[in-house]
């Protein structure tokens, strides 16, 4: 593996020798002002002049790829960075398994590849748009900085996808790149492409749940695309995954710190019953049942991103060698799956049951299963915190049939345990499972900014360690 140095001299930092690629360099330079306009219009509201202690990628060596410094966000060096090319890499799965990976787009798969890149690309600016109001209510400068770090990196992920479109897809790639700047999260006329990316992120608990659950969908998709036989896509996704890990860290530790603070406050006040919501809320912390409801909401919205359980598109993309499975390279079957089956949860005679389906058609289901397992790891850590306080409460993922809008279970109403409910029962119990207006109002009432270094809002504990090993009193954002 050779590690290409990053060229920081031009307008667009890159390790793809953009200086020698005049056509693509020009296309990206032409796209750049529109991107900056989008960032100024739709990026973090009210903090564009502030100095934020951000990491910027300066290389793609996993051991030391980032440097930290104060940056005004519109001046962040968004660049095009691909993981190093692996000598002799072969297509790892599908009908072309074992052939050399493609360095150019294979004509027969062009439309499929473009679609996958555009869909991935569309999610990146969408989350920045969804989170743009949160700076104003940040519970600390540390958290504000983490929010902005996630935001600038989602911006860079957009650059990553736009580079692929500009470089490999000619005129229609350029059109798609423009359209990525035109759609808007939640807009009635020009929404973002996927449902969860048009929802609101109104408060910081939502933000942490979003980065925990929805950025983790991003991780799964990137892992599957990192296996691609189209090598530039694989290399792009491999580097994006390095950044993505931080987004999930923000989500997981954010929720952990909220739980920690709630449990501490309950203990100090001598409250043993986690369901005594009125009393817990009077302490200025978020009660555990409300945290559970937020998890139910974000988990179920994110499951919809995996698409239908049975999918010809997914089968085609795998068969073609374009999109693999989660960590395909660690699996030990034939990587072609033409004669295999996979158990899929389906609705059969009104009951939720497993049924074997052809493995190729069931790839969305399989990726979703891997996702659920990955979600459960961090939830185990949340529960350890609750347990350490001796509070009888456990955060649980709802059943995959709960609150679904896409796929097998979109036709039914199920409770969090996966029992099918009559419509009337669902309406009556919905507020037990999902945040109600009162829950939202309560959380909103807590969203008061805390901009003094080393201080934190009442409802969240400080982190165990600072970013870049900075001490507690460090001023992560100098607000201008």
The nearer residue to Fe ion, 244 or 439, going by C-beta atoms, is 244
Q: Is 247 in the site for Fe ion (CB under 5 A)?
A: yes
The nearer residue to Fe ion, 218 or 254, going by C-beta atoms, is 218
Find the binding residues for Fe ion in span 88-127 (CB under 5 A): 124
In the shown chain, the binding pattern of residues 159 to 198 toward Fe ion, with x for contact by CB under 5 A and - for none, equals ----------------------------------------
Q: Which residue in the set 25, 157, 368, 404 belongs to the binding site for Fe ion (CB under 5 A)? A: 157
Whether 250 and 150 have beta carbons less than 8 Å apart is answered as yes
Q: Nearest CA to 323 among 86, 123, 87, 120?
A: 120
Alpha-carbon distance of 215 to 212, in angstroms, equals 6
Structure tokens at 122: 């569309």
Q: Is 25 in the site for Fe ion (CB under 5 A)?
A: no
Alpha-carbon distance of 164 to 103, in angstroms, equals 12
Q: Which range binds Fe ion by CB under 5 A, 92-100, 217-225, 426-434, 437-445?
A: 217-225
Q: Give the angle 184-246-124 at the CA atoms, nearest 5°.
A: 15
In the shown chain, the binding pattern of residues 36 to 55 toward Fe ion, with x for contact by CB under 5 A and - for none, equals --------------------
Q: Is 156 in the site for Fe ion (CB under 5 A)?
A: no
The nearer residue to Fe ion, 214 or 292, going by C-beta atoms, is 214
Residues 6+ apart with CB under 8 A from 318: 93, 94, 324, 325, 337, 360, 363
Alpha-carbon distance of 344 to 359, in angstroms, equals 9
Q: Is 215 in the site for Fe ion (CB under 5 A)?
A: yes
H/E element, 383: helix 363-388
Size of the site for Fe ion (CB under 5 A): 7
Whether 7 and 13 have beta carbons less than 8 Å apart is answered as yes
Q: Is 394 helix (H, G, I), strand (E, B) or coil?
A: coil
CA 95 to each of CA 99, 340, 452: distance values in angstroms, whole numbers, following the listed order: 9, 14, 58
Alpha-carbon distance of 244 to 449, in angstroms, equals 26
In angstroms, give the least distance from the CB of 254 to Fe ion.
14
The nearer residue to Fe ion, 176 or 287, going by C-beta atoms, is 176
In angstroms, give the least distance from the CB of 150 to Fe ion.
6
Structure tokens at 277: 């919501």
Q: Is 217 in the site for Fe ion (CB under 5 A)?
A: no
In angstroms, give the least distance from the CB of 303 to Fe ion.
17
In angstroms, give the least distance from the CB of 191 to Fe ion.
18
Going across the sheet that includes 51-57, the strands are 66-72, 51-57, 477-478
The nearer residue to Fe ion, 211 or 361, going by C-beta atoms, is 211
Q: Which range binds Fe ion by CB under 5 A, 77-85, 213-221, 323-331, 350-358?
A: 213-221
The nearer residue to Fe ion, 188 or 377, going by C-beta atoms, is 377
Kindly list the residues in this chain that would bind Fe ion in the complex (CB under 5 A). 124, 154, 157, 215, 218, 244, 247
């Amino acid at each position: 593996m050779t590690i290409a140095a990053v060229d920081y001299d031009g307008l667009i930092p890159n390790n793809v020798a953009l200086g020698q690629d005049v056509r693509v360099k020009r296309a990206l330079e032409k796209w750049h002002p529109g991107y900056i306009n989008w960032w100024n219009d739709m990026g973090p509201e009210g903090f564009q002049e502030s100095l934020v202690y951000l990491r910027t990628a300066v290389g793609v060596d996993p051991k030391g790829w980032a440097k930290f410094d104060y940056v005004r966000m519109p001046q962040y060096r968004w660049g095009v960075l691909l993981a190093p090319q692996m000598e002799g890499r072969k297509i790892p799965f599908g009908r072309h398994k074992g052939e050399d990976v493609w360095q150019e787009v294979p004509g027969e798969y062009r439309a499929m590849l473009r679609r996958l890149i555009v869909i991935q690309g569309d999610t990146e600016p969408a989350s920045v748009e969804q989170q743009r109001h949160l700076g104003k209510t940040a519970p600390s400068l540390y958290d504000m900085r983490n929010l902005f770090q996630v935001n600038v990196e989602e911006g860079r992920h957009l650059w990553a996808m736009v580079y692929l479109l500009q470089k490999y897809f000619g005129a229609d790639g350029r059109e798609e790149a423009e359209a990525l700047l035109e759609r808007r999260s939640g807009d009635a006329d020009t929404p973002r492409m996927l449902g969860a990316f048009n929802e609101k992120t109104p408060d910081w608990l939502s933000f942490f749940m979003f980065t925990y659950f929805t950025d983790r969908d991003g991780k799964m998709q990137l892992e599957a695309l990192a296996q691609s036989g189209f090598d530039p896509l694989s290399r792009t996704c491999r580097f994006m995954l390095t950044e993505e890990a931080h987004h999930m860290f923000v989500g997981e530790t954010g929720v952990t710190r909220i739980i920690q603070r709630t449990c501490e406050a309950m203990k100090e006040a001598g409250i043993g019953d986690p369901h005594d919501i009125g009393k817990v809320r009077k302490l200025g912390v978020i009660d555990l049942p409300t945290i559970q409801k937020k998890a139910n909401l974000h988990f179920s919205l994110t499951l919809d991103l995996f698409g239908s359980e049975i999918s010809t598109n997914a089968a085609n993309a795998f068969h073609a060698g374009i999109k693999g499975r989660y960590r395909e390279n660690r699996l030990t079957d034939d990587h072609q799956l033409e004669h295999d089956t996979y158990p899929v949860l389906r609705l059969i005679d009104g009951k939720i049951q497993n049924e074997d389906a052809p493995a190729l058609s069931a790839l969305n289901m399989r990726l979703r299963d891997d996702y659920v397992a990955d979600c459960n790891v961090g939830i185990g850590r949340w529960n350890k915190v609750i347990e350490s306080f001796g509070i009888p409460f456990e955060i649980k993922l709802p059943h995959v049939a709960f609150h679904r809008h896409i796929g097998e279970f979109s036709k039914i109403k199920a409770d969090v345990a996966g029992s099918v409910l009559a419509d009337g029962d669902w309406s009556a119990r919905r507020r037990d499972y999902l945040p109600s207006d009162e829950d939202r109002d309560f959380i909103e009432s807590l969203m008061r900014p805390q901009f003094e270094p080393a201080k934190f809002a009442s409802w969240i504990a400080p982190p165990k360690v600072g970013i870049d090993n900075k001490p507690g009193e460090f001023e992560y954002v100098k607000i201008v």
